[in-house]
Amino acid sequence: MNDDTKSSELLKAYEPRVLAAKALRDLGHAFVSHEIDEKLLTNIHTTIDKLLPTINRGEKRVRAISAMKRAAFASAPKDKESIDHFPDCVVSGQENPLGIAASGFRDKDEAVINVTLGAAFEGAPNRAHGGIVAALFDDAMGMILNIIETPAFTGKLTINYLAPTPVGQQLEFRAKCDQIDGRKIYVSAKATHDKKVIATADAIFISVPQAKFNSQEDA
């Protein structure tokens, strides 16, 4: 069995989890954005309550997070290639039912996330919560680390909110590396809607020595 066949079979195995996660995200957005009669609300409640004991009786998942982290920095993504963090990541993970499921890619030396936020991420009606905007910035800026092949953690993140961030409309988050000074990696980013800058961000990431990073155990 070659690597392509193994990858294809792995994707097929995970497809039901991805589809189920998407269905739950869609349910959350629909729940927030629509009036629901009491009978349907009760039906949702009872259906979920019936499913939960069965799910909780299942085998606990074992996720090799350290191995996934090391794989993320094994080689830089090519231009226009997607940048994936972890399947359960609350920002870019396709298997997280409570997440954003945003997709990112490399554009030359920049990292880009294009996303349309659903109603469940509102702070005020029709406006995204500021914490969601910050999370998207953090993930987009973190994708720069994949491009420069340097594991690091967020040391400082500063957001400037210039205009309301709409839900239900296309947004772009674009990040770039400005400077590397020892272990400090300086990254900046901007968020745009309809070609208008609605927020900017600056961050300092602290690199992790490769030897230490490779020796980390799963938590």
Ordered structural domains, the chain, with CATH = 1-219 (3.10.129.10)
- For residue 40, the model assigns a pLDDT of 98
Query: Are 119 and 128 within 8 A, CB to CB?
Result: no
SS3 helix, strand, coil % of the chain, rounded to 5?
40, 30, 35
pTM for the whole structure: 0.87
Identity of the residue numbered 62? V
Strand partners of residue 191: 173, 199
- For residue 124, the model assigns a pLDDT of 93
Among the listed residues 152, 136, 77, 133, the one whose alpha carbon sits nearest the alpha carbon of residue 107:
77
SS3 call for 69? helix
Q: What is the pLDDT along the chain (219 residues), one digit of tens a residue?
A: 444 454 454 455 568 999 999 999 999 999 999 999 999 999 999 999 999 999 999 999 877 666 566 566 778 899 999 997 788 899 999 999 999 999 999 999 999 999 999 999 999 999 999 999 999 999 999 999 999 999 999 999 999 999 999 999 999 999 999 999 999 999 999 999 999 999 999 999 999 887 666 665 544
Token pair of 130 as six digits: 């500021």
